[in-house]
Amino acid sequence: MILHELLGYDVLRVIWWLLLGVLLVCFAVTDGFDLGAAALLRVTGKTDVERRVVINTIGPIWEGNQVWLILGGGAIFAAWPQLYAISFSGFYMAMFAALVCLILRPVAFKFRSKREGTAWRNGWDWVLCLCGWGPALVFGVAMGNVLMGVPFRLADDMRIYYDGSFFALFSPFAVLCGLVSLSMLLMHGAAWLVFKTEGDVQARATRWGMGAAILTTVLYAVAGVWLAKLSGYTLTEAMSTTGPSNPLLKSAQLGQGAWMANYAKQPLLWIVPALGVCMPLLAALGMKLRREWLGLLSSGLAIAGIVLSVGVSMFPFILPSSVNPQFSLMVWDASSSHLTLFIMLVCALIFLPLILAYTSWVYSIMRGKVDPDEIEQGKGHAY
């Protein structure tokens, strides 16, 4: 109880905002390379054995990577219930499409090699490719819509109304964000294949990875310039950071270039988007020079910079409303109670180290290159 009293409501709100960012980055970095590798399956593997090599680089670990998606969704549900309600209902069809891809992916892993037929295996290979492309695009498009504002409103009794439609999600800026997401995951998947394979598969992954890395830098820079010209959200008067979770109690408005205000106040924050611009180029260099660790680490840092730059730009907003800025959800007015956030923090401090230890152990066990000869000879439990 002493710790509970020391950690004020405002402190816990910021801690959980930071933890949510960490969970999203962990998901994007870990599950990102297996989505990217699957999306590149048809172009990096030309023969059945080569495609099995690609699949076996991610087959043993993809399930563990999705733990971060579950943790992120659970954190949003428990720490920011209004954010969960609006985003998962407003983006329902888009999220459903991503969920279908995430469901079909394990089916493809398990069923692909059950039969020897070429048509059978080619069909499941296409399923794996599409299930890599789909979530990458959907998550990026969703992030673009968050930056532009989501068409929701709140009634006086806090009931939520969503006024948008499925096709309205695909505005030019949102599609650009989707392409940024896709290119960065293709880069990361290629860096993983360079790290885990040899020979022709590695050479093809290098070419595709370098192209995706350069494209990521270009698209991200264009999106940043575009974002600077968009209308962002800003408070018109100071608000309590320890007040009740009621978005209707604040006063906010649109402002030209408001999403850049945090960088003007704290220039050190430019380090975050700088990672998104520079690290893809370093990843491309690492892949070209066969510095495998450098390529993979740089692509992971690039993803972290790109994802975190969204949160840095928006803080303290977490879900702006395009209907009325006052309805926007913020770190200070959309969280769960003080006690709930404290209990969740205690649980996180117990279980996150266990998850990290288990994950590290699994990656240690699965270290090393995937050998095509062992796969062809049917040794072990290859996919």
* DSSP strands (E only) in 170-284: 231-235, 252-256
User: The tokens 């390529």 sit on which residue?
Assistant: 295
What's the rounded Cα separation, in Å, for the pair 265 and 304? 22
**Dihedral of CA 100/101/103/107: which sign?**
positive
Contact present, 194 and 162 (Cβ < 8 Å):
no
**Predicted confidence band of residue 5 (pLDDT cuts 50, 70, 90):** low
Residue linked to tokens 């890395």: 213
* pLDDT tens, residue by residue, 217-228: 999 999 999 999
Cut 0.75: pTM above it: yes
pLDDT at res. 262: 92
Query: Considering the chain, what is the average pLDDT of its residues?
Result: 89
Residues near 161 by Cβ (< 8 Å), separated by ≥ 6? 152, 153, 154, 155
pLDDT mean over 291-297: 93
Residue 3 pLDDT class (50, 70, 90 cuts): low
Q: Residue 17 — very low, low, confident or very high, per pLDDT cuts 50/70/90?
A: very high
Give, to the nearest 10 degrees, the angle between helix 271-288 and helix 172-196: 40
Q: State the pairing for strand pair 317-319/231-235.
A: unpaired
CA diameter of the chain: 69
From start to end of 138-293, where are the E strands? 152-154, 160-162, 231-235, 252-256
Kindly report, residue by residue over 52-96, the tens digit of the pLDDT.
889 988 888 888 888 888 888 888 999 999 998 888 888 888 888
pLDDT, tens digit (0-9, with 9 covering 90-100), for 182-218: 999 999 999 999 999 988 899 999 999 999 999 999 9
